[in-house]
Amino acid sequence: MPNEMDSDTYQMAVRQLDLVAERLGLERDVLERLKLPQRCMVVSVPVMMDNGETQVFIGYRVHHNLVLGPGKGGLRYHLSVSLGDVSALAMWMTWKCALVGLPFGGAKGGVRCDPTKMSPGERERLTRRYTQEILLVIGPQVDILAPDVNTNEQTMAWIMDTYSMQVGYSVPGVVTGKPIVIGGSLGRREATGRGVVYCVQEACTKRKIPLHGAYVAVQGFGNVGSVTATLMNELGARVIAVSDVKGAIYHDQGLDIPELLRYHQSAKTVTGFPEAEAITNADLLTLPCDVLVPAALERQITLDNAHKIRCRILAEGANGPTTPEADVILRRRDIFVIPDILCNAGGVTVSYFEWVQDLQNYFWTETQINRRLRQVLIKAFREVYAEADRAQVDMRTAALMLGIGKVAEGERVRGLFP
């Protein structure tokens, strides 16, 4: 592995690929190609801070594989962002898009920064300058960005504006997850969480667990976590614990989610919510419950805590929350894992719908969006379940076999490996 890619998360993604390559009998040259990103751009991003000083940030945009279509992937602002992590996230995007049948390759971007310590003006200048620096490798036919950790609709609007100013006309298709008024799609903001819930419903049916009354814990209360908790609550599940970067809260009978959403809007954290007990993020992960939804960052369930996890279904809202070593333990303990590339694919699916609507200038209703999202995810879930049964493997291995298998086939038919 090249030194620049040295990150635990990248190693984890390559390990998953290696394990599945063996099962698929992938040719050595195809495997070597898929282990490395097709293209990485590293940029310096000078930003004038509010105090008049210039700070230079490091940013990345990675195209892992573009064999099935233009790059598609989120943009993350976080202090832990590195080339290796972004490459791993791009690789997972490749498998995810292939798995659910979207005509995209995998991409991801990030800037190493702490946006919580920056003013809106600083965040805007950072976003615009980053966009300017990666302009060569993005575009509606090249690579389309979307929100990820610590970025949102506003971030996408700034990117679209910066890109559009360069070409001289509005190009909504360069980003998805943007505000509706400039070409965003109805249902996109909720899509990832909604997709998590569709997958959980399917898993509950397979495991004969009624979702109504089920006990649910959610790690992370951002876009994915808060929507998942809201929809689960609407379906009658009891969301007994949620968390964010500052800590976790717990109520044995279920939290009042609408009230929590109002509290979160003003407090900007779930901690301190009245009528809930404070617990730690580590406690949340090991609570006895029916469904555990990690919806924060990578590598949360590891060799250290996998034997303490007490859920029946693990629904991976986040990308890469479970390490391969933890997978072995969860499998032994018969915990039903809905793997990330399936469980959180609702976001990129509605991003695809948004991109199609932008290219055609023809917009769909929210009902149409949600119905099509459901169709795509249920079909993918059932294909993964059937593959797991056929190959006698767990759901993650089956999902990766299907996704990686399609990409490898794409490489072969396009003739890269004569």
Binding stretches for ligand NAD (CB under 6 A): 147-150, 192, 219-225, 243-245, 281, 295-297, 317-319, 344, 347
Distance CA 2, CA 139 (A): 28
The nearer residue to ligand NAD, 224 or 373, going by C-beta atoms, is 224
* Cβ-based neighbours of 170, under 8 Å, separated by 6 or more: 160, 164, 182, 183
Tokens in use for 275? 């009528």
Least distance in angstroms from the C-beta of 383 to ligand NAD: 19
The nearer residue to ligand NAD, 318 or 395, going by C-beta atoms, is 318
The nearer residue to ligand NAD, 68 or 145, going by C-beta atoms, is 145
Does 96 qualify as catalytic in the annotation?
A: no
Residue 178: what residue type?
A: K
Distance CA 17, CA 9 (A): 13
Contact 336, 394 (CB under 8 A): no
Least distance in angstroms from the C-beta of 22 to ligand NAD: 27
Contact 284, 306 (CB under 8 A): no
Least distance in angstroms from the C-beta of 392 to ligand NAD: 28
Strand ranges, E, within 198-280: 215-219, 238-244, 247-250, 277-279
Least distance in angstroms from the C-beta of 88 to ligand NAD: 11
Least distance in angstroms from the C-beta of 40 to ligand NAD: 18
The nearer residue to ligand NAD, 296 or 337, going by C-beta atoms, is 296
Q: Which of 96, 108, 178, 406 is catalytic?
A: 108
Q: What are phi and psi of 222, to 5 degrees?
A: -95, -145
Q: What are phi and psi of 105, to 5 degrees?
A: -95, 180
Contact 302, 294 (CB under 8 A): no
The nearer residue to ligand NAD, 139 or 247, going by C-beta atoms, is 247
The nearer residue to ligand NAD, 33 or 194, going by C-beta atoms, is 194
> Residue 332, class by beta-carbon neighbours within 10 Å (0-12 exposed, 13-18 middle, 19+ buried)?
exposed
Residue 270: what residue type?
A: V
Least distance in angstroms from the C-beta of 332 to ligand NAD: 25
CB-based burial, 68-102: b 16+ in 10 Å, e otherwise:
bbbbbbbbbbbeebbbbbbbbbbbbbbbbbbbbbb
Q: What are phi and psi of 131, to 5 degrees?
A: -60, -45
Looking at the annotation, which residues are catalytic? 108
